[in-house]
Structure 1
Amino acid sequence: MSTIISPSLLSADFLHLERDIRMINQSQADWLHIDIMDGVFVPNLSFGFPILEAIRPIIEKPLDVHLMIVEPIKFVRELSALKVDTMNVHYEACTHLHRALGAIKDAGMKAAVTLNPHTPVELLRDILPELDMVLLMSVNPGYGGQRFIEQTIDKTRRLRRMIDEGGHSCLIEIDGGVNAQTGARLVEAGADALVAGSYVFGHAAPLEAIAGLKALKRNS
């Protein structure tokens, strides 16, 4: 399977969102990653539902929505109405994670869980059968353009081993500091999907940057 690429709209030019979304539509990207922040769970604000509703008609890629907010499960209905493909909630924000995943799936979306850099993958062992995807943060959530956290490589390997040994089908996605070099190492460690923000939207040739990431494959 080729690597799934999900450019993060957080790094787009907010003055020209339509232009940047149409560029992604024409690219080899598989998904479009949307970060929703509340200024509480993370120290920043980003897109709200009015923005999502405004841009939804021109988005042609499946929506990969990452909720960096407290009580994310309150917004299942709104995201389902926007025809979101994958709803991603933080392990650290969900006291009743199993219930949250069930609500996401009942609403017709794929269920994903994000782990902050300090949260060990082993905490997901009992919930892996319920997951469509695990997102590992390779930076501290809240801001784009941060330096890649090296420990993520080993963390990815450990999660890949847990998934394979358990016979689970969930994907591994990585978000933060992804570029051609870190992307290659992450894919080799077992990642299935890469979120790339600054690397894509800050690149002189974004379509080529996406194509380069898309071409990454594991040796084994």
Structure 2
Amino acid sequence: MRNRIIPSLASAKQLYLAEEITRIEALGFQEIHLDIEDGNFINNITFGMSTINEMRYLTSLPFNIHLMVTQPEKYVCILKNCSPCSVFVHVESCQNIAEVILYCHQNNISIGLAFLPTTPLENYSYLIKRTAMILL
């Protein structure tokens, strides 16, 4: 198993994202973790797709994306244009998680499953084997 630290921009001030990305690069990190929240799956709202697209022009660092949204399958299709290195999808928010996993595999996106603390993992063991990582 490969452990690594991936800095997150979830708490960064939106007006200073460019400076934070530059700082992450200067510190030698290899990826940036981005939480996308829609205000439906969870109450918070972080980055929208327009912000993610703009960040793509600021850095060549790979994006590690955590989707905390309803209907994540719609986001995964759009995110393909941002060349994410990996995407975490919550099993609780997806109607057909197997299709999302297949789509990611077909588009060379490393897929991970994300779980709320109350979700029993054993119900998804058959899918965990088809993904690269899990996020609890």
Q: How much has 1:36 moved relative to structure 2?
A: 0.6
Instruction: Report what 1:125 is aligned to.
Output: 125
State the Cα distance separating 1:32 from its structure 2 match. 0.7
3-state SS in 1 of match to 2:70: coil
Structure 2 counterpart of 1:114: 114
What is residue 32 of structure 2 aligned with on the other side? 32
* Match of residue 57 from structure 2: 57
Measure the CA separation in 2 of the matches of 1:26 and 1:109: 26
Q: Return 5+ residue gaps in structure 2 as ranges.
A: none
Q: Name structure 1 gaps, 5 residues minimum.
A: 137-220
What residue number does 2:19 align with? 19
Partners of 1:28 and 1:124 lie apart in 2 by 35
Aligned pairs (5 A) from 1:42-81:
42-81=42-81
Does structure 2 retain, via aligned residues, the 8 Å contact 1:80–1:108?
no
Residues of 2 paired with 1:65 and 1:37: CA distance? 11
The corresponding residue for 1:159 is: none
Deviation at 1:52, TM superposition (A): 0.9
What CA distance in whole angstroms lies between the structure 2 residues aligned with 1:115 and 1:60?
29
Superposition RMSD on alpha carbons, in Å? 1.5
Quote the Cα distance in structure 2 between the aligned partners of 1:42 and 1:11.
16
What count of residue pairs does the alignment treat as equivalent?
Answer: 136
Q: Verify the 8 A CA contact 1:32 1:63 in the aligned structure 2.
A: yes
**TM value normalised by structure 1:** 0.58
Which amino acid in structure 1 is aligned with residue 110 of structure 2?
A: K
Relative to structure 1, is the Cα distance of residues 95 and 5 closer, same or farther in structure 2, using a 3 angstrom cutoff?
same
Q: Rg bigger for which structure?
A: 1
Task: Calculate percent identity across the aligned residue pairs.
Answer: 29
CA distance in 1, matches of 2:4, 2:47: 23
Greater length-normalized contact order (CA 8 Å, ≥ 6 residues apart) = 1
